[in-house]
Chains A and B, each alone.
Chain A
Amino acid sequence: MIDNIMEALQEKKYLQFILLIIIFLVIYAFVPQTESNVLWRLPPLFKELPLMINNGANYLMFEWWPIDVYDPDIEEFEQKPLFGQFTRSISGVILFMIEFIREILVGGVKTIVTFTSWDWVTENEWARWPALPWTVITGGIAILGYSLGGLRLALLVLFSFTYIAVFGQWVPSMQTLSFVLIAAPIAVLLGLFLGVWAYKSKTVEMVMNPFLNIAQIMPAFSYLIPVMVFFGIGDHAGAIATVIFATPPMVRLTVLGLKKVPPEVGEAGLMTGCTDRQLMYKVLIPSARRDILIGVNQVIMQCLAMVVIASLIGAKGLGNDLLTALNGLRVGKALEIGVCIVLIAIVLDRLSLAWANKQTDYFAELSFKEKHKYSLLFLGVFVVGVILAIIGSFIFKEGFNYLNIIPHNKGITTEAFWQAGVDWIWDTFFYSLKAFNEWLIIGVLIPVKTAFLGMPVIATFTLMMGTGFIVGGYRTALMVGGFLLFIALTEWWDRALITAYLITIAVIICSTIGILVGTLCAQHRVSSRFMLTVCDTFQTFPSFIYLIPVMMLFGVTDTSVLIAIIVYSTIPATRYTIEGLISVPQSLQDAGTMSGVNRFQRWLTIELPMSFPHIALGVNQTVVFALAMVIIGALIGTDDLGQLILKAISDEVGIGNGLVLGLCVAFIGLAIDQILRTWADQRKLALGLK
């Protein structure tokens, strides 16, 4: 009898899982909830860890390895720590580049100051870099778009930049643009470099991998604090934080792309007599361009997603305005700014894509005019724009010259309309929304939250490590246990449970919606293509954009955050479901049909099992997305890890807290990632998909 049960347990994984749940519930019920009980909560042994990180950072920044530096102000050598000088010079270079581009776009004096001094500039009134009229910039970028990607791209640029100007967001948009134009190329080049390095050396790849894993799940907020400590506050700090945030996916995709290049292409390169350098830059990287360009796209999207977050450490531009608008509950304003960010993202993405795909005609005999037509065209636009601006200065004698630069918030605005919309929704649906909100909070969220918080630490470990063991044996169990142990030994276990509760609810809802919608859409080629495009588009939007409409409906509550998470994180679940289902081989489906299954049976018995490993990876992505969103949700108020991270930013010694909190969030993600990925890999292997 007992032998039979043991045998069944060894064979059937779901029986093991049921047993695990039973053990979990028993532990849950019987472990007493007392402060001193180690089974209930582990002692916060890592309590000092943030402090140690703080001290370490301080030592590195202010004491380690003093060197003599010449100070021109006091005309003497001074002892200064090496690391501080190092970060300061990086800051200086980046800040100079950002200011330089910014002043080309909107004018200013700082570039000239760099080469002279403030005194000199104050004395010489004429030494100002004049702003280019917005018409010239718009026209110029439209011409660039035309030369790279034809009329469609030109029209897109024209529309986007005109929108930005007309809605009075010109100056902050150009500030944001100048910052992205520096951060994005640095991230792309750095990512490419690291990716190539990892591709060439197995050791480097092995060392880099865990860092990439953590970096991709760690909330962007956590980067801000160390960056702030080492590089100070300002546009350069924002740019550096953005680079740190945007580089990992670029590295990943570079390695992935390079690995996918067929070996024969590399051999062909060698046989044509390429040197190592030629092989890499003329053969391998261009052959991997599909994935590398996805990486570039990711970088641009990440950069613009960081616009708001970077504004927390002093990056000027749209992010700051959006943050203010969100805090002031000005939904219309936030929406207009959000659209600006999305438009800049799309324009940059399309331009970079078109640039990479550009083709040359070698046998065209071009006249001088033909050869330089774009430069000539730009010259024309420049002259016309400047003349218009000068005329403008006569027309708009009083106030602002709208033909030169439309000042901030002096354009047209639709805010009143949106506010009216919000008001109307509030007036009309107030009671039903409120009822729903209250039901959700009291009926669902609070009970689940209480249940999570009432979970003894030993129960959590049993459940997670047990699942890991069932899925992937000792190795997976130990990895999962390690991640959890770190969190349990900090003093934020309860906060982490709150994050986990939001994530759990969100992921369950997202997966259900995603798999349902994905399945429905995958029934037809047109609908699946349509849905994949929708997913692409929605993924383009920086995550916090989703907070805007949700706040419109539900105000500042857990519900808002939850719904924002759900809207944002359903994307990967849906996408992976569709991809998984449509990649089930036609022959297999035909075989099923010929054995007489009906449509639903075919889905249940053939398509779903075949595609489930891929769907599981989608759920994994959903977890990552949800974690990113739940932390951003702190911007509108939650009481989980995100709130603490946000607090740490404004804390002088927050670097340790911020990093450890960030690691906690990352480790939640990695623990789940470990289980899901192992499972998916095994299933894929078993199904012969790998």
Chain B
Amino acid sequence: MSSEANTSTSESPVVKCDSVYKIFGDNAQSMMKSSNGVVDATKFQAAGCIVGVNNASFEVHKGELLIIMGLSGSGKSTLLRCISRLTDATAGNIYIDGEDILSMNNKKLIELRRSKMGMVFQSFALLPHKTVLENIAFPLQVKGMSTKESMLRAKEMVDLTSLTGRENYFPRELSGGQQQRVGIARSLAIEPDIWFLDEPFSALDPLIRKEMQDEFLRLQNSLNKTILFVTHDFDEALRLADRIAIMKDGIIEQLDTPANIVLNPATDYVRKFTEEVPREKVLKIETVMDSFDPKADMSDLKVSKDAIIETVANSILNSSKPVAVTDEKGEVVGAVYAAKVIDMLFGSHSNQSVGQ
């Protein structure tokens, strides 16, 4: 099902999942063994097992932001917890930087978490008895850093996440958005390579959520972590992701870039999500580009072929002539006509349910 995006990077993946299963229930192991790798959720349920993750395989590369999207009960959080080994996967292999984490002993696992991983939680999961500063410094102190040093480092994180002035507040004295800033600061304090975010903005009001997403993008632009981000909000996924994995009943229905998911939904389930999505928010100029005619009277304006349509639509529509499209090197590779953009913005195919 999952169509691997074309990843041309030669370096080895930071996170690699290989046929990962997570089955809940007392006889999960024996059921798994007798199933020969073909897990039928209904059959398992009859035997008193619940299938959390069903045969998940994928890779995440350095600096990539993979969003795991699904509705509640789809197994997305379970998958994340398997990768962070908060729960043990029932079968399969999970590699972090090439190391098999399922075979790690407790000591090595703790070492890995202390040096490489950070996690943000939906309910913030701050320690109620510690102030903002103490919460952020906590992972450092757990590692054995001195109080003074950890506090200085925590102070830096406070400034980075715009919490300055609230260092000595307790979590209960902060708004939801501020609490999640603390959660983010805490997860970043040890400078992890891999950043797990479990529905980090789901508990926030829409306006605050938008603000936090912007903040998140800002942080990611400067930090460039490898990220696994879980959400049930498809718009959020489209907005933030490099690639999206859509899950249903423990199975990854499709794993691809936002544009490909919207243009070529792999299953009916995925299509239901994409139907309502305004394409201009996802698609790049590339997809509405016509071939470049050197004789045509072109506008002075030039747009990149990687630009999201929505961001440049206004200027294309305002210019009376076709607009040239350039590639990474700045060479003109095509032209974009206002008519096609209008068609994309208001055309019937942007909402396929209308015709039905």
Q: Which residues of A contact B (CB under 8 A)?
A: 262, 264-265, 267-268, 270-275, 278, 282-283, 286-287, 289, 359, 361-363
Contact = CB atoms under 8 A, between A and B. Distances in A.
Interface string B107-132: 00011111101110111111111110
Contacts of A289: 128-129
Contact of A271 (B155, B168, B196): B196
A264 B202 CA distance: 15
Contacts of B115: 273
A5 to B, nearest CB: 42
Given A264-B122, A278-B142, A271 B151 contact: no
A286 B121 CA distance: 19
A177 to B, nearest CB: 28
B138 A361 contact: no
Nearest to A270: B86
Contact of A267 (B118, B121, B130, B151): B121
B123 A272 contact: no
A96 to B, nearest CB: 34
Contacts of A264: 121-125
Contact of A268 (B110, B119, B131): B119
Contacts of A270: 86, 113
Interface residues of B, number: 39
Contact of B111 (A273, A286, A361): A273
Given A267-B86, A273-B143, A286-B127, 6 more contacts: A268-B119, A268-B125, A273-B114, A273-B142, A282-B138, A286-B128
B78 interface: no
B226 to A, nearest CB: 15
Nearest to A272: B139
B80 to A, nearest CB: 10
Contact of B142 (A265, A272, A359): A272
B190 to A, nearest CB: 8
Given A264-B121, A264-B122, A359-B168, A274 B142 contact: yes
Nearest to A279: B142
Contact of B131 (A273, A283, A359): A359
Contacts of A359: 131, 168
B86 A272 contact: no
Contacts of B118: 271
Contacts of A265: 125-127
A335 B130 CA distance: 42
Chain A interface, DSSP helix/strand/loop, else mixed: helix
A283 to B, nearest CB: 6
Interface of B: 81, 84, 86, 110-115, 117-119, 121-131, 133, 138-139, 142-143, 147-148, 151, 155, 167-168, 183, 186-187, 190, 196
B123 A275 contact: no
A362 B147 contact: yes
Nearest to B123: A264
B110 A262 contact: no
Given A272-B138, A273-B111, A283 B127 contact: yes
A593 to B, nearest CB: 29
Nearest to A357: B129
A271 B86 contact: yes
* Shortest 7 CB-CB contacts between residues of A and residues of B: A273-B114, A272-B139, A268-B125, A273-B113, A264-B125, A271-B119, A286-B129
Contacts of B81: 267
B114 A272 contact: yes
A265 B124 CA distance: 8
A264 B119 CA distance: 11
A200 to B, nearest CB: 15
Given A264-B121, A359-B168, A287 B86 contact: no
B113 A271 contact: yes
A363 B151 contact: yes
Contacts of A272: 113-114, 138-139, 142, 186, 190
12 contacts: A262-B123, A264-B122, A268-B119, A268-B121, A271-B187, A273-B110, A275-B110, A278-B142, A286-B127, A287-B128, A361-B168, A362-B151
A136 to B, nearest CB: 33
B302 to A, nearest CB: 46
Contacts of B127: 265, 268, 283, 286-287
A272 B196 CA distance: 12
A359 B131 CA distance: 9
Which of B117, B124, B129, B196 has the most C-beta atoms of chain A within 10 angstroms of its own C-beta?
Answer: B129
Nearest to A274: B142
A267 B122 CA distance: 12
B208 to A, nearest CB: 19
A362 B183 CA distance: 20
A494 to B, nearest CB: 51
A112 B129 CA distance: 42
A326 to B, nearest CB: 42
A264 B123 CA distance: 7
Contacts of B143: 273
B24 to A, nearest CB: 14
Nearest to B115: A273
Contacts of B114: 272-273
A282 B139 CA distance: 11
A363 B147 CA distance: 11
A164 to B, nearest CB: 33
Contacts of B139: 272-273
A287 B151 CA distance: 21
Contacts of B123: 262, 264
Contacts of B125: 262, 264-265, 267-268
- Which of A273, A287, A289, A361 is the most central at the interface, judged by chain B CB atoms within 10 Å of its CB? A273
Contacts of B124: 264
Contacts of A275: 110
Contacts of B190: 272
Contacts of B86: 267, 270-271
A353 B127 CA distance: 18
Nearest to B107: A275
Contacts of B167: 363
Nearest to B121: A264
Contacts of B151: 362-363
A617 to B, nearest CB: 26
Contacts of B187: 271
B253 to A, nearest CB: 26
Contacts of B129: 286-287, 289
Contacts of A362: 133, 147-148, 151
Contacts of B133: 362
A559 to B, nearest CB: 48
Nearest to B116: A273
Contacts of A273: 110-115, 139, 142-143
A393 B139 CA distance: 58
Nearest to B139: A272
A271 B186 CA distance: 11
Contacts of A363: 151, 155, 167
Nearest to A267: B86
A289 B142 CA distance: 20
Nearest to A289: B129
B111 to A, nearest CB: 7
Nearest to A266: B125
Interface hub of A262, A274, A362 (most chain B Cβ within 10 A)? A362
Nearest to B147: A362
Nearest to B192: A271
A268 B125 CA distance: 6
Contacts of A283: 127
A666 to B, nearest CB: 36
A282 B112 CA distance: 20
B84 to A, nearest CB: 6
B324 to A, nearest CB: 49
A681 to B, nearest CB: 25
A289 B129 CA distance: 8
B26 to A, nearest CB: 14
B192 to A, nearest CB: 9
Contacts of B196: 271
Contacts of B131: 359
